[in-house]
Amino acid sequence: MEDERETARLWRVNRTIHELVRDRGYEVADHEYQMDLETFKAEYATNGSVDRTRLNFFTQHNDNPEEKLFVFYSTEKNVGVKTMRQFIGVMEEKNINRGIIIWSDKMTSAAKKVIEAMRMSFSLEDFEEAFLLVNITHHHLVPKHEVLSKEEKTALLQRYRLKETQLPRIQQADPVARYFGLQRGQVVKITRPSETSGRYCSYRICM
């Protein structure tokens, strides 16, 4: 029974992380996030439980194949330095500088320090499995968010004769900002329904 719950949980996590990666512009096949629970069980749950190492995957950006991403599931419940070394070791071996580590229970302060220490060489993110159980962008209260390219951001500022500092802000720790992996200085377009004009667009800069 516990294995059944864990499998269903990881199926939901696996679906959301593939949607997240796709929404950031990386290559993801439809079947990877449309997979139903029974297919997921047949593919990943051997002897009743899911082997997290089989959920790890590599992908590349649609616009720039040189930009690769590695998604790594920790097999340790409490992520420590040992797991981080294993994670980064794979990235070094495959010459990948972007990575996401997914953990179930806890990430130690020592492990978080590794992310900070490696910031010059790698772009590393960590997500708790609980964060990925539901895709936050699918919630009816969350409006549509679109990350602007550098060119779109420049055009926006010129059109409205604005400085970056005049734009409303979105914090990097905001759940939607985390979902899209927003970096400081990036601008996101937010589209909301409007009773008068059909829709209303606003813009926020990540700080």
pLDDT digits (tens, 9 = 90+) for 103-160: 999 999 999 999 999 989 999 999 999 999 999 999 999 999 999 999 999 999 999 9
Q: Strands 123-128, 198-206: parallel, antiparallel or unpaired by DSSP?
A: unpaired
* Secondary structure percentages of the chain, helix, strand, coil, to 5: 45, 25, 30
From CA 142, how far away is CA 109, in angstroms rounded? 31
pLDDT at 10: 97
Topology at the third CATH level for domain 2-134: 3.40.1340
Backbone angles phi, psi at 168, to 5 degrees: -60, 155
Tell me what percent of the residues of the chain surpass a pLDDT of 90: 92
Task: Please give the model's pTM, rounded to 2 decimal places.
Answer: 0.94
CB 24 within 8 A of CB 64: no
Domain locations in the chain as residue ranges:
2-134, 137-206
Question: Is 137-206 the same fold as 2-134?
Answer: no
CA within 13 Å, CB half, 185? 4
Question: Using CA atoms, how far apart are residues 136 and 17, in angstroms rounded to an integer?
Answer: 11
Closest to 144 (Cα-Cα) out of 178, 176, 177, 192: 192
CATH code given to domain 137-206: 3.90.940.20
